[in-house]
Amino acid sequence: MDNNTLINRDLSVLWHPCTQMKDHEWLPLIPIKRGYGVWLEDFEGHRYLDAISSWWVNLFGHTNPRITGRINEQLNTLEHVILAGFSHEPAIALAEQLVDITPSGLSRCFFADNGSSAVEVAMKMSFHYWRNRGKKDKSRFVTLANSYHGETLGALAIGDVALYKETYQPLLMEVITAPSPDCYLREDGESCAEVAQRAIEEMENILAAQADSICAVIVEPLVQCAGAMRMYDPLYLKLLRQACDHYGVHLIADEIAVGFGRTGSLFACEQADISPDFMCLSKGLTSGYLPLSATLTRDEIYQAFYDEYENLTAFLHSHSFTGNPLGCSAALATLDIFRTDDVIGANRKLARKMARCTESLKDHPHVAEVRQTGMILAIELVQDKTRRTPYPWQERRGLRVYQHGLENGVLLRPLGNVVYFMPPYVISEEEIELMARVAIEGIEKATRG
């Protein structure tokens, strides 16, 4: 088997996600034969360092023996069983452990099989909670500008990235959009905490005027990942928690991308010392091995559904693969690694290394900002540094960095003109040096002329 044969077969039958398929007339598709550690290898022996953890899912490297071993064991025992009316040990153990490690108060775990579904579960549960409590006017959601929560229609509606959303607008429910505390938007001399303060005032105005019709506010704690890795101060989460409590509105923390150590703590909410009413988890939950997601919530919310059947208050949401035992066993192996190894401590060192390797970019004439939260580092490319004028999107500068990366053995996948690193935690310091060197060369090339 070689690359070209597979590319031809692929392009005659597959429709790839998030892709203008015509690009593949000139942009090579890369069939991967195997993965190990941070590396992906194609059918001609070319290696690519997976600097983006395969869409932010991989935590401990590809084909990690500890996770593979656990899934193999489970595979010989029980591959899947319906989770309604039936149960199994991996789902029970995983729910116990998630309740244990997530912020206090989250005591119930509802499984689904991807991130968007976890968000939809939280939205439906919040709405349904208020109905069950007799608050039938509460039906709207508040989201932050530049947020992203998935692609299914409900999750898409509650996000704010125009590129993914605009076309489908007629299909989407209306949401209320509050300003983002995104620190890139700071004015001269303003701190990130001050931007957060400014943004929360607007949020409070919205809640003060409309709380009676609002179910919940949803946020991506600390980093708006799909929104070009924009970052904000933990103070915002603290103030938002207070505002939601004050106005009687739920807080949904979408930690699908930022959970499991990405931001420097196990969960990003910990940095603001808050507990949400709903927490959505996926991606790193299984170390990127299998599709699984979880929505955690509080006992008080669970109790609002707990009633005689005839009262029709139950949460009748289901997915065929809810709580799949193989996914749960991958997640249990993931949590074992967090328990036995000092992952967060080791990541601190890796994060410092990423910062050192990109320090030189701060003075680059086309780099507006190098920002970092834990194991996520992002480089914002601009046409004009002083005015922060973005490059016209049509120029696809980020794509040039992507191409340079592939030619030099690193999988970078810029979000527009933002180049970022979100590597698996098993990356070595030498591999960080390589990743940064190739990115810097790519940025040089992409911003020339």
Q: Which residues bind to ligand PMP, rule: CB under 6 A?
A: 114-116, 119, 148-150, 220, 225-226, 254, 256-257, 282
* Helix orientation angle between 235-247 and 192-210, rounded to the nearest 10 degrees: 10
CA distance 416 to 430: 27
Q: CB of 56: closest distance to ligand PMP in angstroms?
A: 6
Query: What are the C-alpha distances in Å from 359 to residues 38, 355, 378, 433?
Result: 23, 6, 12, 12
Q: CB of 220: closest distance to ligand PMP in angstroms?
A: 5
Q: CB of 331: closest distance to ligand PMP in angstroms?
A: 14
Q: CB of 261: closest distance to ligand PMP in angstroms?
A: 15
Q: Which of 138/283 has CB closer to ligand PMP?
A: 283
Q: Which of 106/223 has CB closer to ligand PMP?
A: 223
Q: Which of 116/263 has CB closer to ligand PMP?
A: 116
* Cα–Cα–Cα angle for 324, 328, 330, rounded to 5 degrees: 120
Q: Which residue has the tokens 């998630």?
A: 98
Q: CB of 375: closest distance to ligand PMP in angstroms?
A: 15
Q: Which of 52/381 has CB closer to ligand PMP?
A: 52
Q: CB of 244: closest distance to ligand PMP in angstroms?
A: 19
Q: Which of 225/240 has CB closer to ligand PMP?
A: 225
Of 153, 124, 166, the C-alpha closest to 141 is 124
CA distance 89 to 364: 54
Token digits for 153? 């229609």
- What's the gap between Cα 56 and its chain centre? 7
DSSP notation for 135-174: -TT--EEEEETT----SSHHHHHT---HHHHGGGGGGS--
Of 175, 170, 156, the C-alpha closest to 116 is 156
- What's the gap between Cα 3 and its chain centre? 31
Q: CB of 114: closest distance to ligand PMP in angstroms?
A: 4
Q: Which of 143/417 has CB closer to ligand PMP?
A: 143
Q: Which of 247/267 has CB closer to ligand PMP?
A: 267
Backbone angles phi, psi at 264, to 5 degrees: 105, -10
Of 149, 147, 207, the C-alpha closest to 181 is 147
CA distance 8 to 274: 51
Q: CB of 365: closest distance to ligand PMP in angstroms?
A: 31
CA distance 277 to 88: 26
Question: How many contiguous H segments (helices) and E segments (strands) does the chain have?
Answer: 14, 16
Residue nearest ligand PMP, Cβ-based: 115
Neighbouring-strand partners of residue 12: none
Pairing of strands 418-421, 410-411: unpaired
Q: Which of 149/230 has CB closer to ligand PMP?
A: 149
Give SS3 for 440. Answer: helix
Q: Which of 287/447 has CB closer to ligand PMP?
A: 287
CA distance 98 to 408: 39
Q: Which residue has the tokens 């696809």?
A: 396
Q: CB of 297: closest distance to ligand PMP in angstroms?
A: 17
Neighbouring-strand partners of residue 376: 373
Q: Which of 38/225 has CB closer to ligand PMP?
A: 225
Q: Which of 142/440 has CB closer to ligand PMP?
A: 142
Query: What are the C-alpha distances in Å from 85 to residues 81, 88, 156, 358?
Result: 10, 11, 31, 53
CB 154 within 8 A of CB 120: yes
Token digits for 209? 């005027």
Q: CB of 142: closest distance to ligand PMP in angstroms?
A: 16
Q: CB of 55: closest distance to ligand PMP in angstroms?
A: 6
Q: CB of 164: closest distance to ligand PMP in angstroms?
A: 10
Q: Which of 109/436 has CB closer to ligand PMP?
A: 109
